[in-house]
A and B are shown apart, each in its own frame.
Chain A
Amino acid sequence: MGEFQPRIVVFACNWCSYAGADLAGASRIQYPPTTRVIRVMCSGRVTPGFILEAFHLGADGVLVTGCHPGDCHYISGNESAVVTVDKTARLLKLLGLEVERLRLEWISAAEGARFARLMTEFTEQVRQLGPTPLGNRGTGGEA
């Protein structure tokens, strides 16, 4: 078994953060294989329902990423992402889950290195918290 490999769901917006992930890949920057990236048109599309579904199904951590403030392709979608993540964090707290399992970060299309660094950093953060008490770790395979 070795070191605990967390399973992390990353929501990445089409216009900035997903392109940032692309750049990290194209630049061959190494980062842990713990993340599953889900592309959404805008970080504002992510709702508490999406995030809780990920946790319900056994995600150890969820990272929501979007364009930097002021740079949103849809002008203010990332502002609603701030509200969504704050709300969801409070729901996690009520459920007794560590709020550190959820994080919101801004990654632009030019920030491949930042994308890789945040994946490494967040993986380490979730690793410290240990496996989620939820979901069935027997399905979906190890990271």
Chain B
Amino acid sequence: MDFEQILHRTRALLCLDCGKCTGSCPVSRVDVAYSPRRTIESVLGGDPEALINDRYLWSCLTCGLCTTRCPSDVDYPAFVIAARIEARKASVEGPYAHNGVMQHLMGIMTQSVEQDRMGWLTGELKTVTQGEDFYFVGCLPYFDVLFEELGVVSTDTARNAVRLMNAVGITPAVSDDERCCGADLLLNGDEEGFRELARRNVGVIAASGAGRVIFTCPECYNAFRDDYPRYVGSLPFDLVHIAELLAGHLDELGLDGLDEMVTYQDPCRLGRYQGIYDEPRLLIEATGANLVEMRKNRANAVCCGSTGWVSCGQCAKGIQMARLREAEETGAATIITACPKCRIHLSCALKDAGDEAEERRAIDVALEDLTGLLARAMPRDELGD
């Protein structure tokens, strides 16, 4: 696709040059040299090659905040992803975080490997290999290894999710052959890798006989819902995020008993992308916890500061610190998030905030996954102990 088409398809051609995007952008707020408005203007001005080689091409979080406010309805994240696809064709890649370890993991998963990724599954959890519902775990087992120094056990989310599903009578199918959903490869402009992962995942799920796929990661959920159909055709199964699923089973869950103050971090893909704002809040309130909102919430929520495993640095940290302080100001003891990546990124920033060598003030707030909070509010006999 050339830039002429990209400008049309993403409506960037209709840009009014008003600058609302730049005013909204969490990246521009920290790094004033970055401007979505100017990025679009530079391409409209006829110099797309300059964008391909611009390091700021990799700064956009694709959080979509600008798009919700754009008077011309320009799809800026789609514009950026399309430009990154062009950049990759010209052999330009972004500044990957963690020395590209996630990109290589994803790349390896596009090939013929026989994974051994179900070590997280503990004995009391009921799962099957063939069934009506498939639980798409995502990269959680890999995150456990990669981010262990943060003290984040990502597979707790998977265990709690299965526990909650079991409590409402769902015995999900899980598989060793599931791959990364590839959302981040697409964010890096790697269409080929993304298509291959999508093709393999759809095959694995279809082979399980499932009519519905349950997600705990909003990025996987969003990729399946919005991106898979464009790359591998319409999917032969329904898709549901765990928050949507459980919100429909509140009576059976019997959540109760928590007495604490929490706030909720809307993940970009769950909120702005998929419009799921109410279900997580409904669930949190059902536990008895007192939900207090951050100043910027729902469609105005701020991204956790890093996406696509690219461009993590000072700017990401600035966004994260501001967000953590905003959470702290609510008086909440815990930030609840429904995305494993928000949890990792904000946990990393939280660790830095308390770095005494740098004389930074610690931020007095904890992080927890939505499934963790819900599991704590389950009746004791449901927990199997």
Contacts and interface: CB of A to CB of B under 8 A. Distances in A.
A103 B142 CA distance: 20
B274 interface: no
Given A94-B142, A94-B145, A95-B108, A49 B100 contact: yes
Most buried by B among A50, A56, A87, A134: A56
Given A47-B98, A94-B117, A133 B112 contact: yes
Contacts of B112: 133
Contacts of A56: 104, 107-108
B104 to A, nearest CB: 4
B32 interface: no
A15 to B, nearest CB: 22
Interface in A76-135: 87, 90-91, 93-97, 133-135
Interface in A48-71: 48-50, 52-53, 55-56
Contact of B115 (A52, A90, A95, A135): A95
Given A49-B99, A134-B113, A95 B105 contact: yes
A87 B146 contact: yes
A126 B99 CA distance: 26
Given A52-B104, A56-B104, A87-B145, A94 B99 contact: no
Is chain A's interface secondary structure helix, strand, loop, or mixed overall?
A: helix
A134 B101 contact: no
A91 B111 contact: no
B111 A47 contact: no
Is chain B's interface secondary structure helix, strand, loop, or mixed overall?
A: helix
Given A53-B104, A94-B115, A47 B99 contact: yes
A52 B113 CA distance: 14
A69 B170 CA distance: 52
A91 B142 CA distance: 7
B159 to A, nearest CB: 16
Nearest to A48: B101
Contacts of B141: 94
Nearest to B148: A87
A96 B108 CA distance: 11
Contact of B145 (A53, A91, A97): A91
B113 A133 contact: yes
Contacts of B104: 49, 52-53, 55-56
B247 to A, nearest CB: 32
A9 to B, nearest CB: 13
A94 B145 CA distance: 10
Contacts of B113: 95-97, 133-134
A53 B100 contact: yes
B116 interface: yes
B114 interface: yes
B15 to A, nearest CB: 37
Nearest to B118: A94
Interface string B267-288: 0000000000000000000000
B109 interface: yes
Contacts of A50: 99
B63 to A, nearest CB: 25
Given A47-B101, A49-B99, A94-B116, 17 more contacts: A48-B101, A48-B146, A50-B99, A52-B101, A53-B100, A53-B104, A55-B104, A87-B145, A87-B148, A91-B145, A94-B142, A95-B105, A95-B109, A97-B113, A133-B111, A133-B113, A134-B108
Interface of B: 96, 98-101, 104-105, 107-109, 111-117, 119, 141-142, 145-146, 148
Smallest CB-CB A-B distances: 9 pairs: A49-B99, A52-B104, A49-B101, A96-B114, A47-B99, A56-B104, A49-B100, A96-B115, A90-B145
11 contacts: A48-B98, A48-B99, A48-B101, A55-B104, A91-B101, A91-B146, A94-B142, A94-B145, A95-B108, A95-B115, A134-B108
